[in-house]
Structure 1
Amino acid sequence: MDRNIRTVDDVLNLLDSLFAPEADRWTADAAAWWDSFYADRSKPVPFFVAKPDENLVSYLERGLIPVGRALDLGCGPGRNALHLASWDFEVDAVDLSPAAIAWAEDRSREAGTEVRFHCGDAFNLVGTELTGPYDLIYDSGCFHHLPPHRRISYLALLDRALAPGGYLALTCFAAGEMGSELDDADYYRTSRLHGGLAYTPESLRWIFSDLAEVELRRMRHEPPESPRFGESFLWTALFRR
């Protein structure tokens, strides 16, 4: 007989375990899943390209985000972290996957940029290895792979790590174009995330209602020859604390 629920963390960990049998993007063995995903660097995956997100380029070129300290959540092979470093940001970048971090470090050496890469769970690393406050927290595709209950952890991370006046910038699946549109409760009934959660502008505004909206729009499609990454099935959002 288990009677081991005493704290909020106990509840969150229990809910995490509901997804483990389906080997989805968020499971007890998520690092192994993503390691397998990143193992073949030649796969035709859109975001494997060594290009920054078009919205990030736009924010910087328009002066919407001042240069400072940045945290890249779910950095993957490091394309956005490297771009921020090229603009003289002091960058920490974190990912669950050792394979992704190794690839990002290879790219960083080739580019001659300085980024501090960290392998692990950002929810656990903020406050230890990841010592804020950060002027920018950038998330390109991490948020939509979180189960609903981990939004609590995400918002707590922002509370701990985002500087007053700092910015959250994220891209996530757009409802009607990409991602699952089930109600939150249905993910627990099926024990699956179905590849990632879709969001509407209204849901993003509600979730991040403690922040001020600067811009929320669809990502612009970028052709293969463009120096920027852009896929129109994503929302891009910029919020300020």
Structure 2
Amino acid sequence: MDRHIRTVEDVLRLLDGLFAAGGDRWTTDAGSWWDDFYADRLRQIPFFAAKPDENLVSHVERGLLTAGRALDLGCGPGRNALYLASRGFEVDAVDLSSEAVAWAGERAAEVGAEVRFLAGDAFALVGSELRGSYDLVYDSGCFHHLPPHRRISYLALLDQLLAPGGLFGLTCFAAGAMGSELPDAAFYERGRLEGGLAYTPEALRGLFGGMTEVEIRRMRDEPADSSYFGEPFLWTALFRRAY
């Protein structure tokens, strides 16, 4: 007889387990899925290239983001973390995949960048490896791979780590262009995330309504020879936490 549930975190982990059989990208074994994904570095994956997001560059160049302490969630091979470091930010970057983090560390060493890369579950690292306040929390492609119940953890992370007046930047699947538009309950009925969840601007405004919207727009489509990453099936968003 199993009667171990006592906390909200116990409930969240129970719900995590509902997706394990489907081999989804957010499960207790998700790190190994992403390790396999990143293992072949020669694959023609657009975000494998060492190019920062075009919206992130735009925010910095327009003065919306200024150097400070930054956290890169789901950093992958480090493209945005390295850009932020090059612009004077003190950067912590975390990813479930140790393979991705190793690749990111190699890239940082090649250019002499100082970034603290961490492999693991960002939610579990809050309060230990991830502490204090960040002037910027940036997420390029992590949020849309979370099951609906983990939005609770995500909002709690922002509440604990984002500084008063700090900025939260996000790119995620755009409804009508990429990702599943099923209602939240359907993912639990099916036991899989269908490759990722699509969002609308209205959904993002509702979920992050405790912050002030600075900008929501579609990511610009960057050509292959561009110095920046840009795919139009993504929303880009920037929110500011109240002081």
TM-score range, shorter chain: over 0.9
**Which amino acid in structure 2 is aligned with residue 101 of structure 1?**
V
- Find the aligned partners of 1:219 and 1:205 in 2 and give their Cα distance: 17
Partner of 1:172: 172
Aligned pairs for 1:105-144 within 5 A: 105-144=105-144
Q: Equivalent residue of 1:215, what SS?
A: strand
Partner of 2:39: 39
- Find the aligned partners of 1:174 and 1:185 in 2 and give their Cα distance: 19
Task: Indicate conservation of the 8 Å contact 1:173/1:233, yes or no.
Answer: yes
**Which amino acid in structure 2 is aligned with residue 141 of structure 1?**
G
Q: Over residues 113-157 of structure 1, what are the superposed CA-to-partner deviations in whole Å (9 max), with x where a residue is unaligned?
A: 100001111001121111220000000000000000000000000
Task: Indicate conservation of the 8 Å contact 1:48/1:77, yes or no.
Answer: yes
- Once the two structures are TM-superposed, the CA of residue 73 in structure 1 deviates from its matched residue by 0.2
- Find the aligned partners of 2:61 and 2:83 in 1 and give their Cα distance: 12
- Find the aligned partners of 2:140 and 2:193 in 1 and give their Cα distance: 18
Partner of 1:197: 197
Q: Equivalent residue of 1:83, what SS?
A: helix
**Which amino acid in structure 2 is aligned with residue 91 of structure 1?**
V
- Find the aligned partners of 1:116 and 1:203 in 2 and give their Cα distance: 32
- Once the two structures are TM-superposed, the CA of residue 69 in structure 1 deviates from its matched residue by 0.1
Task: Indicate conservation of the 8 Å contact 1:144/1:173, yes or no.
Answer: yes
Please state if 1:2 is matched with 2:5. Answer: no
Partner of 1:187: 187
Partner of 1:211: 211
Partner of 1:156: 156
- Find the aligned partners of 2:21 and 2:83 in 1 and give their Cα distance: 37
Gaps of 5+ in 1: none
- Find the aligned partners of 2:73 and 2:126 in 1 and give their Cα distance: 11
Q: In the comparison of the two structures, how many residue pairs are matched?
A: 241
Please state if 1:101 is matched with 2:98. Answer: no
- Find the aligned partners of 2:10 and 2:39 in 1 and give their Cα distance: 33
**Which amino acid in structure 1 is aligned with residue 189 of structure 2?**
R
- Once the two structures are TM-superposed, the CA of residue 110 in structure 1 deviates from its matched residue by 0.8
Give the TM-score taking structure 1 as reference length.
Answer: 0.99
Q: Equivalent residue of 2:235, what SS?
A: strand
- Find the aligned partners of 1:70 and 1:27 in 2 and give their Cα distance: 26
- Find the aligned partners of 1:66 and 1:213 in 2 and give their Cα distance: 17
- Once the two structures are TM-superposed, the CA of residue 28 in structure 1 deviates from its matched residue by 1.4
Give the TM-score taking structure 2 as reference length.
Answer: 0.98
Q: Over residues 31-65 of structure 1, what are the superposed CA-to-partner deviations in whole Å (9 max), with x where a residue is unaligned?
A: 00000000000000110010000000000000001
**Which amino acid in structure 2 is aligned with residue 80 of structure 1?**
N
Q: Over residues 75-105 of structure 1, what are the superposed CA-to-partner deviations in whole Å (9 max), with x where a residue is unaligned?
A: 0000000000000100000001010000000
**Which amino acid in structure 2 is aligned with residue 9 of structure 1?**
E
- Once the two structures are TM-superposed, the CA of residue 6 in structure 1 deviates from its matched residue by 1.2
- Find the aligned partners of 2:82 and 2:180 in 1 and give their Cα distance: 30
Runs of 4+ in 1 over 3 A off after TM superposition: none
Task: Indicate conservation of the 8 Å contact 1:126/1:132, yes or no.
Answer: no
Partner of 2:50: 50
Partner of 1:89: 89
Q: Equivalent residue of 1:127, what SS?
A: coil
Gaps of 5+ in 2: none
Task: Indicate conservation of the 8 Å contact 1:174/1:235, yes or no.
Answer: yes
Task: Indicate conservation of the 8 Å contact 1:172/1:234, yes or no.
Answer: yes
